[in-house]
């Protein structure tokens, strides 16, 4: 079972590391990280590099597609080569999925037209122009073979749900114990319906600050590992 996790400069790491950590434990799981070309790809933080192992061209027909989010998602949702790949991969995939603002890329590829989808709370309004009905009160939203998850940490819940669909409840429960997913957040402000006005304002400010750094992330895509590393070390 080939699982293709899409990387792009500016990704939010937890979006895909959550489901990666779940799905890699399934029998026969063959995870790969895809981008235009193999090489290091920088996260939104600018300090984390994750290796793309394969190009889109090398990955024509994955069984599972997972598109993570990030503040740069909206840029990449205009990249026709990304959208073409997502469309073609979806034709034969068993599951096409997204976490966080990754659903904007599925939407831009035309996969969610007239359908319901979720996203990071800040990205929900960006779905509507693509003819998508945004859902803000569900952790994951299923529409046929397409499953979208809410922001960042929701990828873990998506991963376990997918694991159950792919390998059955027993295996999914075993993986939940492997990753000791027995969450005990010290606060209860993880959803817009639970957070105070102050928390919402502070969270929005944090997300806006991230946007400022986006320009730093365009170079590593086309450079080799060593160069990307030097850039990160110098930042």
* CA 126 to the chain's CA centroid: 16
CB of 6 to a second copy, least distance (A): 14
CB of 74 to a second copy, least distance (A): 17
* CA gap 69, 99 in Å, rounded: 6
The residue (of 38 and 214) whose beta carbon lies closer to a second copy is 38
* CA gap 171, 163 in Å, rounded: 7
Compute and round to an integer the Cα radius of gyration of the chain: 17
The residue (of 83 and 140) whose beta carbon lies closer to a second copy is 140
Catalytically annotated residue among 4, 5, 89, 100: 100
CB of 45 to a second copy, least distance (A): 5
* CA gap 84, 61 in Å, rounded: 13
Nearest to 170 by CA among 25, 14, 6, 2: 25
* CA gap 61, 86 in Å, rounded: 10
Nearest to 88 by CA among 123, 60, 118: 60
CB of 24 to a second copy, least distance (A): 5
The residue (of 38 and 87) whose beta carbon lies closer to a second copy is 38
**Whether 104 is catalytic:** no
The residue (of 80 and 184) whose beta carbon lies closer to a second copy is 184
CB of 33 to a second copy, least distance (A): 7
Which neighbouring-strand residues pair with 49? 42
The residue (of 116 and 171) whose beta carbon lies closer to a second copy is 171
Annotate 104-149 with three-state secondary structure: HHHHHCCCCCCCEECCCCCCHHHCHHHCCEECCCCCEEEECCEEEE
* CA gap 130, 169 in Å, rounded: 34
Catalytic positions, please? Answer: 100
């Amino acid at each position: 079972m080939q699982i293709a996790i899409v990387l792009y400069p500016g990704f939010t790491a937890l979006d895909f590391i959550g489901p990666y950590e779940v799905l890699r434990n399934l029998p026969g799981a063959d995870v790969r990280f895809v981008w235009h070309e193999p090489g290091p790809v920088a996260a939104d933080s600018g300090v984390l590099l994750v290796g793309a192992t394969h190009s889109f061209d090398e990955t024509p027909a994955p069984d599972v597609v997972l598109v993570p989010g990030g503040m740069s998602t909206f840029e990449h949702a205009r990249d026709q080569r990304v959208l073409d790949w997502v469309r073609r991969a979806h034709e034969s995939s068993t599951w096409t999925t997204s976490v966080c603002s990754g659903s904007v890329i599925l939407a831009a590829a035309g996969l969610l037209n007239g359908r319901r989808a979720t996203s990071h709370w800040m990205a929900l309004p960006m779905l509507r122009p693509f003819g998508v009905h945004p859902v803000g009160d569900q952790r994951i939203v299923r529409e046929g073979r397409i499953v979208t998850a809410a922001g960042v940490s929701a990828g873990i819940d998506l991963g376990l749900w997918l694991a159950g669909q792919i390998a059955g409840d027993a295996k999914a429960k075993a993986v939940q114990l492997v990753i000791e997913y027995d969450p005990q957040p010290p606060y209860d402000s993880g959803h817009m319906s639970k957070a105070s006005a102050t928390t919402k304002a502070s969270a929005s400010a944090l997300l806006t600050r991230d946007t400022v750094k986006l320009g730093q992330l365009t170079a590593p895509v086309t450079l080799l590992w060593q160069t990307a590393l030097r850039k990160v070390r110098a930042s």
